[in-house]
Each structure stands twice: as structure tokens, then as C-alpha cells.
Amino acid sequence: MQEKHKKMLLILGIIAFFANGDNYAAAPLLPDIARDLDISISQAAFSVTAYMASFGLFTIIFGPLGDRFGKSKIINIAAFGTAIFSTLAAFSFNLPSLIILRGINGAFAAGIFPVTMALIGETFSDEHRQNAIGKVMGMMFMGAASATALGGALAYLGNWRLVYGFYGIAELVTALIMIKVLVKSKGVVDELKYREVYGKAFGNKLLLKTVGTIFIIGFAIFGSFTYAGSYVEEQTGLNLLMVGVILSSFGAATVLGGRKASWFREKAKDKYFIFAGILGSISLLLLSISSSVFTLIIFLFGFGLSFVLLQSSMIMRAQQVMPQLKGTAMSLASFNMFVGGAVGTFTNGIILDATRMSNIFLLAGVIMFFVAFLTTRVVLKPL
């Protein structure tokens, strides 16, 4: 691998680290946000829904923009946007202002993850692509691992505003460095024709099945993880600092899975997706009845490992079924992942208001059981 490509992976990994941490930091913060703004936890979760929904919706715009004007340029613009609005969210004075600012933050963040995956897809050969994707996804979910612990620590020392301010400044510094380090890429299409590119995408039935499955995974995983911090606090009575440390088990598992996904696929072969889905199902079902710190850590780890094993492979599949327009394919993949997460977060808020919080993870566990078999049918089908 060339030195410039190593530097590119590093800087892409760093911005993914902070942007994803910006998202995941909300998990341990919801109780603090609710207390500070004098609202319920389910109302505080609307800010998460706003972030994920706008993230998903705006990926539809950014993917084709990356194909037209160059993916590195779009990533640069998106990095500056998410840095600015993450910082501004720290000054939110009520729920509507928090929802609006987090929504705009999510809109800009939409230009980082999918376009980054597409840039890697067009830069690296088949031999190196999965490892390159795994490394950046590992950094991305290391951001999730540190976000829960870091977010909990900062909220414990100050409050939730300090967390969003920290991520905004860190993203701004990274965006400035990125201008010089990121390898410049050219557009792969001559004109920006949304109707044409999405017409091709929606005409690809295998791509639609792939991103539809990603929607279900996003619903189950992101939709339930949003409430994991509140659930751990409820089950253990620990402070935000310790809640964040416990939740970091999920992120640590995604780091391991992101780096070792190809090893797991080699060992499990055709049973890979069954293994990953059942692991997630069992972990979530057992999480719904757990109350000790030890079991919560173990099942959060299994939850995170299942997610990254499934998600990294589904992203690879989306690129494979539409190789000429990777940016557009990644837009649809990210759209479904984050809109699925937003719908899941909203739905679970209703469940939380009507019944026990543990039922959120029970539902997610049941869904992941079916995902185990659904992913096998989608991915193992020949191109």
C-alpha cells in the first residue's frame, strides 16, 4: 500500500472517529439532556432521531455529488459543516433548538461516511478493499467506543454541552488537516443527474434487497443502542461516567470486528451471516434481562460485534452490485441504515412511554434473529 494511501486511510479514520463519536455520544447523555432541559428521556431522544433522519435523507444528495465533483471535495465540505453545527448544538437552549442543530449536524455528517466508503471503494483494489474498509470502520466504531466513555466522563465533569463542544472542535481541527492530506479524487460522471443515477439504482433489484436489509439492521441496532445508556443507568444506578465505560464494550467490539471481519468470514464461510445474526439476537435478548455490570458488558460486546460483522459485509455487497456508481450505492446504504435507526429510535420511544425499557432490546433481539437468515439470502445470491 502506498504511503499516500496510508495517510488517506488515517485521516479518513480520524474524521470518521469523531463524526461517529458525535453521534454515539448521545447514548449516555439522554438522562443529562432530559434533566437540563426539563423534558422526558423519550423527548430528548428526538434529537437523536433528528440527527439520524437528516443523516439518512441527505446521503441521497451527497453520494451523487461525490460521483460528480469528486469524493474528497465533498468529504472536506461535510467535515467543516458537521464541525460547526456540532459546536453550535452545545449552546442549545431548549428541545426545538437542539433538534434543529443536531438535524443540520446530521445533514453534513451524511457527506462523510457514505462518501468515504465510496472513495475507498474506488481507490483500493479488490485485494485490499475489505481491509481498507475494515480499518476505517474500525476507527469509526472506535469513535463509538470512546464516545460513550468520553461522553459520560465529560458529562460527569461538566454536562452534555461540553461533549458536543468537544466533538465540534475536534472535527474542525481534523477538517483543516484534511485539506492538505486527503488524496484528491475526480468525478466519475460528467453531469449531475439524480433521476438517472437513482433510476439505475432502483432498477437494481439486488441492490434494493441489500439496502432494505441494511434498513432493518439500522432499525434494530441504532434504534435500540440509543437507549442503552438510559437502560444501563436504570439497571445499575451508576453515574454517567461509569455508564459510559460500560457502553464502551459495544464500541470495543465494533473495533475488533471491523479489523477481523475478513478473518471471521474465512472461518465461518457460508455460516458467517447466520453466526453474526444469531450472536446479535442472543446478545440483545439476554441484555433485556440483565442487571449486573458484568453481564451488561458481555452482552453489549456481543451486540456490537454482531453489528459490525453484518454491516461491513452489507456495505461491501452494496458496492459489488453497483460498482460503476459506488457513491450512489453508498448513499442508499447509508440512507437506509440511518433512517432505519431514526425510525427505530422513534418507535422505541413509543415503547418506552408505554411499557418497560427492557422491551426495546427484546424487540431488537427478535428482529436480529430474522436478520440472520435474511442477510444470507441476500448476500449469498450470485451477482
Task: State the Cα–Cα distance between residues 131 and 258, nearest whole angstrom.
Answer: 9
Task: State the Cα–Cα distance between residues 145 and 250, nearest whole angstrom.
Answer: 6
Mean pLDDT of 183-188: 73
Task: State the Cα–Cα distance between residues 163 and 158, nearest whole angstrom.
Answer: 9
Which of 132 and 294 is assigned the larger pLDDT?
A: 294
Confidence class for position 383, pLDDT limits 50, 70, 90:
low
Q: What is the pLDDT of residue 375?
A: 86
Task: State the Cα–Cα distance between residues 181 and 195, nearest whole angstrom.
Answer: 33
Q: What is the pLDDT of residue 22?
A: 84
Task: State the Cα–Cα distance between residues 77 and 253, nearest whole angstrom.
Answer: 30
Residue 125 scores a pLDDT above 60: yes
Q: What is the pLDDT of residue 381?
A: 64
Task: State the Cα–Cα distance between residues 183 and 45, nearest whole angstrom.
Answer: 37
Residue pair 66/351 in contact by the 8 Å Cβ criterion:
no
Q: How far apart are the first and last CA of the chain?
A: 28
pTM of the prediction?
A: 0.77
- In sequence order, the 6+-apart residues with CB closer than 8 A to the CB of 116 are 12, 15, 16, 71, 75, 136
Q: What is the pLDDT of residue 23?
A: 77
Q: What is the pLDDT of residue 376?
A: 82
Give pLDDT tens digits for 188-226: 777 777 888 788 888 888 889 899 999 999 999 888 988
Give pLDDT tens digits for 36-88: 999 998 898 888 888 888 887 888 888 788 878 888 889 999 999 999 999 99
DSSP 323: G
